[in-house]
A and B are shown apart, each in its own frame.
Chain A
Amino acid sequence: MKIFKYIVSKIFLRKAILGIGMVLLLCMANYITFTAVRSILSTFQGYQETRYINQEGFYIANLDPDSHIEMNTVRENGTQAVYDYINNNFNYAFYADGFIVSVPNIDDMEISLVYMNKEYYKLNQFELLQGTDLEFDYQFDKEIPVLIGKGLSKTYPVGSTIEIEESVLGRPITLKVQGILKQNAHHSNYYALNSKIYYNFSVLFPVNEEFINHANIDLQLNGLMDITILQTTKEEISNLSEVIKDNLGLKFNFFSQKENYNYINKYYFHTLKIISITTIILLIVITCLSIWNALVSVRLMLKDFTINLLVGLSYSKLKKIFYGYFGILSFIDLAVIFIITAFNRYGCWLRKDATFATYGLFGLIGMDWLALLLVAASDIIIGMIVVESMLWKIKKIPISLGVLQ
């Protein structure tokens, strides 16, 4: 340890600029790797999550990019007519989120109401920490059974009730907590697989036909955007598109998940491939720059190293010192990446951003840790290449010449 401290403080840190250069290069490598790995992991997670709708006869709604919603032209009887048609002709999975409501809770978070019907709930198979599954055959004017996120369970245990001013119905209602979702339960966007919202501070609200009929136009229209029609045909879907166009003036496309995957494979995964290739190229460039930096360091410190070798330092000990030094630099960079990630994750708690607040050490979730692990692995590879290059350079020059440099 004494030798390590001596070599680091009296030799490496004498040329601090080279050490700082290495830290910056590693930091770049780590940040690029972390960002790319997390994007890929999140996309893969989203891909896995949406597999449940990849079934024959399932079609997911998608507002045509050229069709613009003008809210004042959409009438409630128009959306109701669409829902009447859907209710009469189809089985469908309904989902709508983004409805914020103020509910007192220990963490003082704004609460997001997430509406879903029985089909959507069945397809998603939510995992519960406590309580029982969501019920959809409830009395509309009595307590409505809901599931809540883990963050709300401290304030509202199973069996407790929550009074809210419900904006969709436009009247106060009472919710009864029937179950608590597993921590960090989430929903991935169907068309942007790496985009997620987390349910830790959400209320999962059961929606049935009667509820939709009484809901305002916001929920009806919002729900239409992501509606999944089940067990149907292309022809029937085409008729539905016509009904929507006639009643709302909006052009809706319906794609099977297979078609969506084709789209994702064509455009989204292509982007991921570019990200991966760019990351690898950047990592190679950064590794080359790190080797160059290391060899310049050796050239400038060669005399110091070889004098130490002359008086008793062995190459094997020097190798351990190099790995130790590189390990410290990597640790500093990993800590920086950890702090940046924790700042982002924990920032959601500080900003009271209910849809992105996650549980974990400083809010870091599984994919963050996995990405950090892969960053550490890339550091080990870069470190081995750099350290072995340095040793090769030092061994190449005889001690007798090095001491007189």
Chain B
Amino acid sequence: MTKIIDLSVKEKIYKSKKSQLSILNDFNLEVAAGEKIAIVGESGVGKSSLLNIIGLIDRNYNGEYTLFGSLTNNLHASKLAQWRNQKIGFVLQESALINSLTMEDNIKLPLLYAGSGKKEFKPEVFESITNAIGIKPILKKKPLECSGGEKARAVFARGIIMKPQIILADEPTASLDMENRERIVTLLFKMNKEFNTTIITVTHDLEIANRHDRVIHLGRSK
């Protein structure tokens, strides 16, 4: 299988106003295309920081990161933005929506930045995603009019609408009931199966973690 992620972090310093914490010390990760990886570990060990590094939204670390065969450390910021748009899908927490936009506009937001790639977008993809995760009735509503679960599903839909090669999911089911949790996981794995999408999920839910190909336990740095 093709290796698409080759990450080697010597150290990541997490700074707060009062102190600083060293995380992900000598951490190495290789991921093949189409792999499903779960990252587990207690709070504060650097699970989300790792997703940020993989997702090209954090370059402030000591190490090297090769993605799709290119060393990202020296890539121009606009190239990284293009990859975040077209190759990486983020599924973050429910609050990561723009309150002034409707749910539909929030979900379609990545299309705005897709440039020429947008022409390949088929409206039926949007239809099938919103149908599959059951958010069609709330598309014209604004985030503040929706429940936490509905918002979480909208964030999920936005993360996968560009059919990215990698989906990075940070606690994607944390605020969902059992039915919607299953919907999301099923759709995530369906994308993996149909499009060979690489899935990297940060979760505290061991049942979900165990359904992935590989589970990485992050511990505290010494």
Contact = CB atoms under 8 A, between A and B. Distances in A.
Contacts of B93: 404
A345 to B, nearest CB: 43
Contacts of B163: none
A400 B48 contact: yes
Interface residues on A, range: 20 to 34
Interface string B107-124: 001101110000000000
Interface in B78-95: 78, 80-82, 84-86, 90, 92-93, 95
A265 to B, nearest CB: 55
Nearest to B93: A404
A304 B80 CA distance: 19
Given A316-B78, A398-B52, A404-B93, A311 B113 contact: yes
Output the residue of B77, B81, B109, B114 with the most chain A CB within 10 A: B81
Interface string B154-188: 00001000000000000000000000000000000
B97 interface: yes
Given A312-B86, A316-B78, A400-B52, A303 B58 contact: no
B77 A311 contact: no
Given A313-B81, A400-B57, A307 B112 contact: no
B90 A310 contact: yes
Given A304-B100, A404-B96, A3 B81 contact: no
B113 A312 contact: yes
B36 to A, nearest CB: 22
B98 interface: yes
A314 B82 contact: yes
Contacts of B208: none
A312 B85 contact: yes
Contacts of A314: 77-78, 80-82
Most buried by A among B58, B105, B112: B112
Contact of A311 (B60, B80, B110): B110
Contacts of B216: none
Interface string A8-41: 0011001000000000000000000000000000
B167 to A, nearest CB: 13
Contact of A312 (B98, B100, B105, B110): B110
A304 B92 CA distance: 14
A315 interface: yes
Nearest to B159: A311
A63 interface: no
Given A303-B98, A404-B92, A398 B158 contact: no
Contacts of B100: 10-11, 14, 304
A374 to B, nearest CB: 35
B112 A6 contact: yes
Interface of A: 2-3, 6, 10-11, 14, 303-304, 307-317, 398-400, 403-404
